[in-house]
């Protein structure tokens, strides 16, 4: 049993020196304001992640425009905390953008937000913060850090499951978690309530639209971004028997489970929709087939990271397989540095490259990157 101690300590506890990552959006602004209000000594930092932040405003809401930087600065001024811009563009390019491209090139579907949390916010940023004498990094993520009876810190889903972002934080290890602060995760809060709170605090970002897209793809056109980076590479779209049904302009442009945009002339024999079942970068082939072909019964994941001690044997957990995805029941076992996962019921649309995050109730147990899947119909 764990006692539910909020991750943002109340006024009475020791004030911490907190570095608040401020994107220029409403969530991180309110998080910084709450941390300051709790009595911590807060300094705001906006991360300049784009190598070319010259454009004042890009098409999509991101975290790299000059306007975002100004919004973050304005929010810090209102909260009354010092504010700096740190240039982590080079690290971001290496660890997030290049990784993103390489993963797609290898036929996988990466999650750059998760990668950014692992490598930038709670690595490059945290390391620099600790070196400069800060105790913690605060972000606007919806998740909870809970301290158990032994003083161990646990990562939990946000009080409000609808807002929960623990999935993209599932990669954090003990050390990273020990210095993380998520002031938004403790309260059941709708976005409207956060906006109202921002308004009440005089933060002009209260009405700013949410960011949805990948921040380094300003126009939201992921396929265009990948095509520009990887070039066109025409290949075949085949069915499960290997019959060529059509062509594509680059296998990297597809995701397992994708249905739209296949542009196959001949309909399936049974007239049912066809889905991307497999992407093979080696022979540049995309395999399509019926929905049943997507059913996954088991998977192997690599690079497991544990929030706390690694489990020693097989255990039963709930798992989340993508951001905003639902929960599914699994049995998971660490085997030789990998993670073997068996689903109680087959699940669809499991894409290699995505993270599987394991939960025990609301507690994040650990995460790993999906490498291979086992299908119900046939192993693809």
CB 181 within 8 A of CB 137: yes
**What is the widest separation between alpha-carbon atoms in the chain?**
69
Strands (DSSP E) found in 307-337: 315-320, 327-335
Of the candidate residues 74, 93, 128, 201, the single one contacting another protein (CB under 8 A):
128
Residue 19 assigned ligand-binding role: no
Does the annotation list 188 as a binding residue? no
C-alpha 18/C-alpha 71 separation (Å) is: 20
Q: Contact region for another protein (CB under 8 A) — 128-136, 181-189, 218-226, 253-261?
A: 128-136
Structure token pair of residue 72: 């973050």
For residue 307, the minimal CB distance to another protein (Å) is 26
C-alpha of 15 from chain center: 29
At 271 the three-state DSSP class reads: coil
What gap in Å lies between CA 156 and CA 167, rounded to an integer? Answer: 10
Residue 113: its H or E element? helix 112-116
Q: Which residues pair with 299 in a beta bridge?
A: 341, 373
48 binds another protein (CB under 8 A): yes
CB 88 within 8 A of CB 237: no
Q: Which string of x and - marks every residue 131-170 that binds another protein (by CB under 8 A)?
A: xxx-------------------------------------
**Cα–Cα nearest to 178, from 136, 222, 143:** 136
Check binding of 57 to another protein (CB under 8 A).
Answer: no
Give min distance, CB of 198 to another protein, in A: 22
Residue 159 known to bind ligand:
no
Is residue 64 among the annotated active site residues?
A: no
The reply, when asked if residue 28 is annotated as ligand binding, is: yes
Please tell me whether 26 is known to bind a ligand: yes
Length of the chain: 380
Which of residues 35 and 143 has its CB atom nearest to another protein in the complex?
A: 35
CA distance readout (Å), 50 to 8, 25, 54, 72 = 30, 16, 9, 16
For 17, the token pair is: 């020196």
Q: How far is the CB of 132 from another protein (least distance, A)?
A: 5
How many chain residues interact with another protein (CB under 8 A)?
22
The least distance separating another protein from the CB of residue 181, rounded to whole angstroms, comes to 18
**Quick check: is 215 catalytic?**
yes
Nearer to another protein (CB atom), residue 88 or residue 180: 88
Complex with another protein: residue 47 or 277, whichever CB lies closer = 47
Question: Which of these segments, 104-112, 122-130, 197-205, 367-375, binds another protein (CB under 8 A)?
Answer: 122-130
**Residues in CB range of 203: below 8 A, 6 or more apart:** 26, 29, 30, 33, 75, 78, 79
- Comparing CB distances to another protein, the nearer of 51 and 379 is 51
Shortest Cβ 37–another protein spacing (Å): 19
Active site residues: 116, 215
Which residue numbers belong to the known binding site?
21-28, 47, 140
Q: List residues near another protein by CB under 8 A.
A: 43, 46, 48, 53-54, 66, 69, 73, 82, 84-89, 91, 124, 127-128, 131-133
């Amino acid at each position: 049993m764990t006692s539910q101690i909020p991750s943002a300590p109340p006024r009475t506890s020791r004030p911490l020196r907190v570095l608040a990552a401020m994107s220029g959006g409403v969530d991180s602004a309110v998080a910084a304001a709450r941390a300051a209000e709790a009595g911590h000594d807060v300094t705001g930092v906006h991360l300049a992640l784009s190598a070319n932040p010259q454009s004042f405003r890009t098409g999509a809401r991101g975290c790299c425009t000059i306007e975002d930087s100004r919004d973050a600065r304005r929010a810090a001024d209102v909260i009354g905390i010092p504010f700096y811009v740190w240039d982590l563009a080079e690290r971001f390019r290496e660890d997030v953008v290049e990784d993103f491209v390489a993963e797609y090139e290898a036929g996988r579907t990466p999650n750059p937000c998760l990668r950014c949390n692992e490598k930038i916010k709670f690595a490059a940023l945290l390391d620099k913060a600790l070196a400069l004498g800060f105790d913690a990094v605060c972000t606007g993520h919806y998740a909870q850090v809970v301290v158990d009876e032994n003083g161990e810190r646990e990562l939990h889903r946000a009080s409000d499951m609808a807002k929960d972002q623990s999935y993209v934080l599932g990669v954090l290890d003990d050390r990273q978690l020990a210095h993380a602060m998520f002031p938004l995760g403790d309260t059941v809060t709708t976005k409207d309530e956060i906006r109202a709170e921002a308004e009440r605090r005089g933060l002009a970002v209260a009405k700013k639209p949410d960011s949805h897209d990948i921040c380094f793809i300003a126009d939201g056109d992921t396929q265009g971004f990948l095509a520009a980076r990887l070039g066109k590479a025409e290949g075949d779209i085949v069915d499960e028997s290997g019959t060529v049904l059509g062509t594509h302009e680059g296998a990297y442009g597809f995701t397992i489970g994708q249905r739209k945009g296949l542009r196959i002339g001949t309909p399936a024999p049974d007239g049912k929709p066809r889905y991307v079942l497999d992407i093979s970068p080696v022979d540049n082939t995309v395999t399509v087939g019926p929905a049943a072909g997507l059913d996954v019964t088991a998977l192997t994941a690599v690079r497991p990271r544990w929030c706390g001690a690694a489990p020693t044997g097989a255990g039963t957990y709930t798992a989340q397989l993508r951001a905003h995805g639902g929960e599914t029941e699994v049995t998971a076992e660490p085997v030789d540095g990998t993670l073997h996962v068996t689903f109680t019921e087959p699940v669809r649309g499991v894409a290699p490259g995505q993270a599987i995050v394991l939960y025990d109730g609301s507690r994040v147990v650990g995460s790993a990157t999906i490498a291979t899947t086992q299908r119900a119909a046939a192993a693809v």
